[in-house]
Amino acid sequence: MSCDTFVVLPPGTSNGTIVFGKNSDRPGDEVQEVVYLVRASHGKGKKLQCTYIEIDQAEETHAVILSKPSWMWGAEMGANEHGVVIGNEALFTRLSGTTDDSMERLLGMDLVRLGLERAKTAREALDVIVALLAEHGQGGRCSDTQDNLMYHNGFLIADRTEAWVLESVGKLWAAENIKSGCRNISNCLSIGTKIDLCSEGLKDAAKQHGFWDESKGEFNFALAFGDGQLIRRFTCGKKLLEDLSASGSFNAKDMISVLRDEESGMDS
């Protein structure tokens, strides 16, 4: 099974719906839970223990359904009572693989759950996630059995009206807004020059690392911080989604067929 996430919006869908789907490639022997957590009031000044670190708790949290590894606090995908859905992807970037990645901070899966528990819209969820990234950063082992499994994170966030792709490199990030059509993410940076929101100083950081020279053209997030390659699953998945949504009738059955598609690699 691969790790791919996608969304299809009008005019690609039937009845004006938004269709979201995700596959997962978590370790095969890892126990997975599907859990429902009710809306809750926590009051002021409370603390919250995430997978590795403690952070400030929100006064109110929304009801959520989560698909999560049993050993961690966070979740790989989920939805909340307001129709916000989030899925995350592992990203391996030009800044991955340092000892800093092993520092225990928030996991990308923690950020998925925090976004769902605290936001009523996709944009609010994005704001929650990037604020927590800025305050706490991301890091720590992403498996309870594989010591060297550590990565940065990408997210696909959607609600009833729009979607956002959020891709992060440490505390740096870029986001792309999707209002129509289709969009998918896999285990590679995919945001190029269409950057609708980004972390402060993103371009300056790229210059400091020697990843971008403005004299050589427009800033491209994926080229600057990624390896410059879109993996086959991403490109094949993009074409599959475009083909299936071209008639404007993409529905839940099509979503299932995409998740099962072997030729594109989205089920490999």
The CATH number of the domain holding residue 254 is 3.60.60
In a domain, 52, yes or no: no
108 inside domain: yes
Q: Is residue 49 part of a domain?
A: no
For residue 232, the SS3 value is: helix
User: Which class for 118: exposed (0-12), middle (13-18), buried (19 or more C-beta within 10 A)?
Assistant: buried
Does 81 map to a domain?
yes
Q: Under a CB-based contact definition with an 8 Å cutoff, are residues 230 and 238 in contact?
A: no
pTM, full prediction: 0.94
pLDDT at 2: 61
Asked, for residue 148, whether it belongs to a domain, the answer is yes
* 3 is known as an active-site residue: yes
**Which domain, by its residues, includes 17?**
5-38+64-259
Q: What distance in Å separates the CA atoms of residue 258 and residue 244, rounded to the nearest whole number?
A: 9
Kindly state whether residue 266 falls inside one of the protein's structural domains: no
Q: What is the DSSP letter of 53?
A: -
What's the total number of domains in the chain?
Answer: 1
DSSP 12: S
Examine residue 58 and state whether it is found in any structural domain, yes or no: no
Query: Would you say residue 56 lies in a domain?
Result: no
pLDDT of residue 1: 44
**Which residues on adjacent β-strands are paired with residue 88?**
155
Single out the catalytic residue among 3, 142, 182, 188: 3
Helices (H) and strands (E) in the chain, counts: 6, 15
Q: pLDDT tens, 184-208? A: 998 899 999 999 999 999 999 999 9
Residues of the chain with pLDDT under 70: 1-2, 228-230, 264-268
